[in-house]
Amino acid sequence: MSHHHTVKHTHTHTHTRVPQTTSAQSGIHVAIIMDGNGRWANARGRPRTAGHIAGARVVRKIVEAAPDCGIGMLTLYAFSADNWARPSREVALLMRLFRRYLVAETDRCVTNDVRMRIIGRRDRIPAELLRAIRVAEEATKHGTRLDLRIAVDYSARDAMVRAAEILRGTTDRITREDLAKAMSKVDHWTGECRDVDLLIRTGGEQRLSDFLLWECAYAELYFTDRRWPDFTAADLAQAVTAFHSRERRFGTVPEAAAG
């Protein structure tokens, strides 16, 4: 089959079928760079903020659809460390949107057996958002169907540096496991630092943008021109189906060639 990583979407999803899972542990780890909100709004003659509001509604649909797509862990890139450079009004609106989402979705996550965690720095976000994060994480901590991780004020490079600082002088030899655990700690993730199986980026760009660089070492990459506010559960299912059709070698050769 073709191994082109740029996937052009179609509008026929009637034959899309993906394996189902019932728990966070058994499902695959999908990470999504939710790009294209601003351009979606601009194309409609609306302010960029309208794109962010529309994008927040899509998050709910994708979170609900994820378990039935065989996804056990879903990590969403909501706000990068570089996003602080955006206009202050846009940043303020995004912070309010995050808080509103957490408040509105916490009960839904509890009902749907979803554990929610926010990864990234916590020393620069508004106090009211930090309170909402703590409430949401505490309320959903027993969820077992899906691990939902939302990256806010996140930078993979910064996480690696801060993890290295934690480990400096603690041991003669640092292993990959040591670094992975330290990265989980600095990112406020309490579980295992799981590798990403499938990285999806919407909006047409084809880059990682400092997102989960360590965890994406062997991730399959799936890029779509679809802007995030237009992304649907059927698009997610299509991406997962494409993932399962690929041959993952992890640096080895196929069994037929090895024989």
Catalytic residue numbers read 35, 83
The token duo for 149 is: 């991780």
Q: In what order do the strands lie in the sheet with 28-33?
A: 114-119, 146-154, 71-80, 28-33, 198-201, 220-223
Q: Which residues of 98-131 are buried (b: 16+ CB within 10 A; e: fewer)?
A: bbebbeebbeebbebbbbbbbbbbeeebeeebee
- The C-alpha atoms of residue 24 and residue 117 are separated, in whole angstroms, by 13
d(CA 214, CA 169): 22
Q: Is 222 helix (H, G, I), strand (E, B) or coil?
A: strand
Helices within 14-121 (DSSP H only)? 37-43, 48-65, 88-111
